[in-house]
Amino acid sequence: MEKSVAARTFGRSEPLVKSGYHHGNLRQALVEASLLLIAEQGPTGFTLSEAAKAAGVTPAAVYRHFGGRDDLIAEVARQGFDIFAALMHYAYSDGKPTALAAFEATGRAYLAFARKYPGHYMAMFESGLNLNAHPDVALVASKARQVLEQAAEGLSQHMPPNKRPPATMFSAHIWAMSHGVVELFMRGNGAKSPFSPEDLLEAGIGIYLRGLGLLPPDR
C-alpha cells in the first residue's frame, strides 16, 4: 500500500515542495506544504517544524514569515476564502440567467469548493481560527458572504415586501444548510445517506424556497 503523504514526506531527505522555496517564495512554499499536511492530518494535527521540514527549510526560517502555526493556518485560510469568494462570484454570474438559478448555483459552488479544496476548507472552517484576531482573513471571508447575500437579495425581490426576510437571514439559512451537508455527508463525519451531497442540498434548498413561496409545489 502506498505510504501516506506524511510518511512519504518525513521518511526521505528531499522536501515536499522544494521548487517553491528555490524560486524565492518561501512563504508560499510553506502554505503549499501546510495544505498537504492539513489534508493528511487535519488543521491541528501537525507542527510548525513539520511544515518547515516539508518545505525543505529549518524551523527558524519559518519565523521570518509567520509568528507561529496559527499565523500559517490563517494565511492558508485567507487564500482559501479568496478562492471561495471568486468561485461564488463566478457561480452567481450577476444573477443570470435568473435570480433563482443564480441563487441555487451559489449553493452548489459551496459544495464544489469543499470537494476540490479540502485543505483550504479545513483551514477556513475546521481549524478554530478566530477571524477577529486576523482582520485580513475576515475581510476576504466577508466577500463570499456578500455574494450569497446579493443572491438572496435578488431572489427575495420576487416576494411581497411584507413577507420578505432580510437578505442576511435568507443567505445565512442557505449557508448553514450548505455547511451542514458538507460536514455531515461530504467530509466523512459519520452520517450516511443514499443520496449525494448535491442532491441533498438541492432538495433542501427547494423545500426552503417553497416554504417562502418562491417555488411552485411541483418544482
- The total domain count for the chain is 2
For residues 35 and 78, membership in a common domain is answered with no
Q: What is the pLDDT of residue 139?
A: 92
Distance of alpha carbon 49 from alpha carbon 91, whole angstroms: 38
For residues 30 and 137, membership in a common domain is answered with no
For residues 154 and 46, membership in a common domain is answered with no
Distance of alpha carbon 46 from alpha carbon 34, whole angstroms: 9
User: Grid coordinates standing for 65?
Assistant: 514569515
Please report, for residues 81, 139, 171, 176, the alpha-carbon distance to residue 132 in angstroms, rounded to integers and kept in the order given.
Answer: 15, 10, 21, 20
Distance of alpha carbon 46 from alpha carbon 40, whole angstroms: 9
Domain boundary among 42, 62, 82: 62
For residues 79 and 42, membership in a common domain is answered with no
Question: Which residues constitute the domain of residue 147?
Answer: 73-211
pLDDT of the chain, 219 residues: tens digit per residue? 333 322 332 233 333 344 444 445 888 988 999 999 998 888 888 888 888 888 888 888 888 888 888 889 999 999 999 999 999 999 988 888 888 888 888 888 989 999 999 999 999 998 888 888 899 999 999 988 888 888 888 888 877 877 778 888 888 888 899 988 988 888 766 667 888 888 898 888 888 888 877 754 554
Q: What is the pLDDT of residue 190?
A: 62
Please report, for residues 116, 181, 203, the alpha-carbon distance to residue 195 in angstroms, rounded to integers and kept in the order given.
Answer: 19, 11, 10
Query: Residue 217: inside a domain, yes or no?
Result: no
Query: Residue 67: inside a domain, yes or no?
Result: no
Query: Residue 108: inside a domain, yes or no?
Result: yes
Decide: 73 and 129 in contact? Cβ < 8 Å: yes
Helices marked H in 24-117: 26-41, 48-55, 59-62, 69-92, 99-116
At a CB cut-off of 8 Å and minimum separation 6, what does 189 contact?
183
**Pick from 123, 80, 101: nearest CA to 205:** 101
Instruction: Read off the pTM.
Output: 0.80
Side-chain-side CA neighbours of residue 22 (13 Å): 7
Domain boundary among 62, 91, 111: 62
